[in-house]
Each structure stands twice: as structure tokens, then as C-alpha cells.
Amino acid sequence: MADSDEVVGMAAPDCSRAVGRGEAGIGQLNQLGNQEIGEDRALERFQKFSPPKFSGGPDPDIAENWLENIRNIFDALDYSEEREVNFAVFQLEGPARAWWNVIRNKWEREQTPRTWMNFVLEFNEKFLPPLVQEKREDDFIKLRQGTSSVAEYETEFTKLSRFAPELVITERKRIRRFIQGLNLEIQDGLAAAQIETFSDALEKAQRVQISKAKLRVFQVRKRDAPSSSHPEASRNTVPPPKVGKGAGGVRLPLPSSSQMQQLEGTPSQGTQIKRGQSRMTPQGS
């Protein structure tokens, strides 16, 4: 793309072909005109997200961040792949635009499809050193959810997947790779789920995660709740006093052994007579 005219000019109507074809020619002209208006509106929506410009350079982090920001915008807009490539190229300037002019001519010569995956492959080859690409690809292959949430795992998954596009080339492969990196308990929860799109996989995985978290909270509360069979509860329980029948059939507490000894006049075991206290001697002794 030499300038911005390529974005909106791709769908420009060819008036010479429409002239002389009667109503069919006029209908075709109107259709092409509507496509041009649609392209303009799509570009206007894209620009509302304030997409960053990219001019190239040796810093791979700048290239990664630019590509990630552009990809996030396209995720929100849901454009066709060809339109995504056109609008991404629209943000290139300076050396990066010169690079694209070379790639565009090569694609036209080799009839390469204008897909997002092809664009990413060309972009990574130019602006990311091979060692960086290999490291990112290896990180993607080894990526697992671990202690991260499903949302955090998905963000990293999407970020690194562009370095191994052949592993997620189809929706089915992308879903399978995503599920393989989830924790086993979430994988088990998705075993019987009907998943047709990547969005389905993400939504259902988040639902399973929430359900598992609620179950863990319930189990913790149940474990920490007091129980009558708990040893502490048994030790703190005071046994009811022994009772016997009194007058009128009223059950009264039975006297203790010490009380019984006092009633019978016998000192309880372990008690001593005070010093100086005389024993009572029976009369006539």
C-alpha cells in the first residue's frame, strides 16, 4: 500500500465496465459504490480506537506491542482478514511502509492470499529476530494456566499464539490448544460441554472456574463449622446432676459422699481434728 488510497480504493467502482450495460451495469455500479462506502465507514470505526502507528526499528518489544494493540482492536471489530491486513498496513509509516511495499509486490507476484496469518509471518520475520521468535514460540507451547485465572491465561495465550500461527491455524486447533493448557479440574468440567467456537471455550471455562471456587468456599465453611461430635464440644459439656426421688415424687439432687459423711457424723477421708480439740468420751466411761 503506497498510501491511504489503497484502503478505500480497493473497492472503487470501475465506471468503464458499467457503461453500456443498461440496468445490470447500473446495479453493479451501485453495488461497488456501496462497498466503497462500507469500506470508508469501517475505516472510520477502526480509527476511533486510536490505533498506534508503527515505523519499524530494531526494538522487538515495540514491534510486539504494536501488533498486539492492532490485534486487540480487530478482536473488537470482527472484520474480515483481508480488511484487517489493509487497515493494519494503513498504520505503517517510514521504513515499515517501505517494507510493506516490497511484501505487497511479492504477494501479488506469487498470488499470496492476503490473510492475517500471512501478514504476521512476514511481520515477525522482518521485525523480530529469530531468537526472539523461537523463545516466544517455545513459551506458547509450554504455556499452562497454573495459578492464573482463566481470563489471565487467555490473554497470555492470545498474545503468544501469534508466534506459532501454524498451531492455531484453524478454530478447532486453537480451541484444542487452549483447553490443553487449562488446569485439569477445568478440563474435566469441559469434557461433556458442546464447544463450537473459541468464545464458547473461554466462556464455559470461566463458568467452571467460578463453580469450582464456590464449591471450595462451601467446603471450607462446612469444615470450620462447630459440630456436636467435635472433641472440644464434648469436653465443654457439663453432665447433668444425679437426682433422686423426694417427697411428693419430686426428683431432688442426691447428696454427695462428703455430705453423707457429715450427716452420719463421720469425718470425711483426709480431714484432721484441730489441735487442742478433745474427743468426746461416751458417758460413764
Nearest to 122 by CA among 56, 196, 171: 56
Mean pLDDT over 204-225 rounds to 91
Considering the domain boundaries, does residue 75 fall inside one? no
Considering the domain boundaries, does residue 144 fall inside one? yes
Q: What is the DSSP string of 61-105?
A: HHHHHHHHHHHHHHHHH---HHHHHHHHHTTB-THHHHHHHHHHH
pLDDT single digits (tens) 248-284: 444 545 555 565 555 455 444 444 444 444 444 444 4
Looking at the DSSP assignment, which residues form a beta bridge with residue 243? 253
> Side chain identity at 74, as an amino acid letter?
F
Residue 44 is predicted with a pLDDT of 92
Q: What is the dihedral of CA 166, 168, 172, 177, to 10 degrees?
A: 120
Number of domains in the chain: 1
Running DSSP on this structure, what letter comes out for residue 14?
Answer: -
Considering the domain boundaries, does residue 209 fall inside one? yes
Mean pLDDT score of the chain, rounded to an integer?
A: 78
Considering the domain boundaries, does residue 81 fall inside one? no
Residue 134 is predicted with a pLDDT of 92
Considering the domain boundaries, does residue 133 fall inside one? yes
Q: What is the pTM of this model?
A: 0.55
Considering the domain boundaries, does residue 45 fall inside one? no
Residue 53 is predicted with a pLDDT of 97
Q: What is the dihedral of CA 216, 219, 220, 225, to 10 degrees?
A: 160
Looking at the DSSP assignment, which residues form a beta bridge with residue 54? 92
Residue 78 is predicted with a pLDDT of 86
Nearest to 171 by CA among 125, 204, 143, 202: 202
Considering the domain boundaries, does residue 190 fall inside one? yes
* Structural domain boundaries, residue 146: 129-221
What percentage of the chain has pLDDT greater than the value 90? 51
pLDDT single digits (tens) 85-121: 999 999 999 999 999 999 999 999 999 999 999 999 9
| Out of 41-45, 74-78, 268-272, least confident range | 268-272
Considering the domain boundaries, does residue 32 fall inside one? no
